Amino acid sequence: MKIGVVEKPGVLKRAERDVPSIKQADEVLIKVKRVGICGSDIHIFHGKNPFAIYPRVWGHEFVGEVVETGSAVTKVKQGARVVVEPIMYCGTCYACRQGRGNICEHLQVMGVHRDGGCQEYVVAPEANLHRLPDSLPWDEAVLIEPFTIGAQACYRGNVQKGDVVLVMGAGTIGLTALQMTKLAGATVIVTDVVPEKLAYAKSRGADYLINAKAENMIEKVREITGGMGSNVTIDAVCNKKSFEDSIEVTSAAGRVVELSFNEIPSEIAPVNLIKKELTICGSRLQTKRFPVVIDYLTKGQISLAGFVTKTYPIEQMIDAFEYVDANSASVRKVVITME
């Protein structure tokens, strides 16, 4: 079967490998149909993901059809259409016991710590599968995983109906946070520095737009909110300053949701947290967000028009990575078809 593998930083290859076989009774063999390319796949390719182990079959955003099931599998049958939740966790550490396997001490992410979805066939435990309705096309289903990231940010920020949410950055993740917080009933302000990205955010429901290059972002948010600031701020820009700004711009009793994997420290005066009793939380991957997103998609509540920028067959996988690299300012999602 065909696979896409990052052999070592900077070396991406198409290769052949034997079809994997089921080894545990709870495992399922899946024929992969679509794989999305994520910013973190590009980081793995460039050797900038500190968690990646090489060589690595990349891909954590993938969907497919069940072709074989282990003897103990009960949830899915041959022919079932599924999305694979790409995280594996121990189930016994403190985080797992809190129901938060996404931050397990022994977390393994498919496509990062172990092989992922860019292969014609993949084996995964039944527990990691979510069934897809027949009405959901593969080209939409492949976007479920990225939307779970926005759903998790919305959940971590405890977004309430009527809240004013500031989504900093209208990249792939910011756009998913925008749609999830709109569905939670918030008024959403979106920032970016690229006018085209702001225009797309407007078309996906943003109530207010701020070009952070042309305007003073914090002043503008205060102006929009009558001086209050945003009740929830989701940092999907993820640099030193965006975290600092998120503390500054958020209202009293507000929540700051940080998505950054950045290792550069930000400078934050404690008084700015205390006087507003801010809650600052990290948001990593997702917990229990797959069913939420599948439900929204099935009901047509997430609007996906134009979200996929380009699609390539597996034979052109290297062109796809080059396209994403060369067009990072305009790409939302590039998808590989495995058929």
Binding site for ligand NAD (CB under 6 A): 39, 149, 168-174, 191-194, 197, 212, 236-238, 259-261, 283-285
Using the 8-state DSSP alphabet, how is residue 119 labeled? B
Binding of residue 331 to Zn ion (CB under 5 A): no
Judged by CB under 5 A, which of 80, 93, 193, 218 binds Zn ion? 93
Tokens of 109: 């992410």
Please work out the total of residues on this chain that contact Zn ion, with binding judged by CB under 5 A: 6
87 makes contact, choosing from Zn ion, ligand NAD, none, with CB < 5 to 8 Å by partner type, with: none
Binding of residue 38 to Zn ion (CB under 5 A): yes
CB-nearer residue toward ligand NAD: 29 or 165: 165
**Which residue has tokens 């305007």?**
215
170 makes contact, choosing from Zn ion, ligand NAD, none, with CB < 5 to 8 Å by partner type, with: ligand NAD
Judged by CB under 5 A, which of 12, 44, 96, 302 binds Zn ion? 96
CA dist., res. 94 & res. 46, Å (int): 33
| CA distances in angstroms from 25 to 72, 74, 91, 121, 308, listed in the order given | 5, 10, 18, 17, 36
CB-nearer residue toward ligand NAD: 170 or 308: 170
Binding of residue 104 to Zn ion (CB under 5 A): yes
Phi, psi values for residue 316, rounded to 5° = -110, 30
CB-nearer residue toward Zn ion: 32 or 38: 38
Q: Which residue is nearest to Zn ion (CB)?
A: 38
> What's the min distance (Å) between Cβ of 51 and ligand NAD?
12
Burial of 228 (0-12, 13-18, 19+ CB in 10 A): middle
Binding of residue 183 to Zn ion (CB under 5 A): no
CB-nearer residue toward ligand NAD: 78 or 98: 98
> What's the min distance (Å) between Cβ of 224 and Zn ion?
30
93 makes contact, choosing from ligand NAD, Zn ion, none, with CB < 5 to 8 Å by partner type, with: Zn ion
CB-nearer residue toward ligand NAD: 38 or 118: 38
259 makes contact, choosing from Zn ion, ligand NAD, none, with CB < 5 to 8 Å by partner type, with: ligand NAD
Nearest to 84 by CA among 68, 112, 65, 108: 65
Tokens of 240: 């030193």
Task: Confirm if 237 and 262 have CB atoms less than 8 A apart.
Answer: no
Tokens of 221: 């948010």
Rg of the chain on CA atoms, in Å: 20
Tokens of 263: 């290792």
> What's the min distance (Å) between Cβ of 265 and ligand NAD?
16
Cβ burial 19-33 (10 Å sphere, 16+ → b, else e): ebeeeeebbbbbbbb
> What's the min distance (Å) between Cβ of 132 and ligand NAD?
22
104 makes contact, choosing from Zn ion, ligand NAD, none, with CB < 5 to 8 Å by partner type, with: Zn ion
Phi, psi values for residue 199, rounded to 5° = -60, -40
Tally of CB atoms within 10 A around 148? 27
